[in-house]
Structure 1
Amino acid sequence: MAKHVKKSDLPQKVCATCNKPFAWRKKWEAVWDEVRYCSERCKRERPKAR
């Protein structure tokens, strides 16, 4: 049995900063519901809340 899943079959979200889609990653497995940004750079550059 193959354990690999095609990237196109993984869940996706849209980054809150750059509005680009990004796919699920193994390192986000436990916190996928909380992930909002595609990268650390987007997280650092997010708009400041007023």
Structure 2
Amino acid sequence: MARSRKKADLPTKVCPVCGRPFAWRKKWEKVWDEVRYCSERCRRSRKSTD
């Protein structure tokens, strides 16, 4: 049985659009290095010069 982790122990990143920190999620397990935005809304509203 796997041990559960506290949310404070999970890796975090800062969203370049809204500037808020966001934590690792299970659904991002295999693509965490590629995740840049905290939400779909921020991803859609990013600057077009990105």
TM-score normalized by structure 2?
0.91
Instruction: Output the aligned Cα RMSD.
Output: 1.6
| 5+ residue gaps, structure 1 | none
| 5+ residue gaps, structure 2 | none
Query: Identity of aligned pairs, percent?
Result: 68
Are residue 48 (structure 1) and residue 45 (structure 2) matched? no
Matches within 5 A, 1:1-50: 3-49=3-49
More helix by share: 1
Aligned length: 50
Displaced runs of 4 or more, over 6 A: none
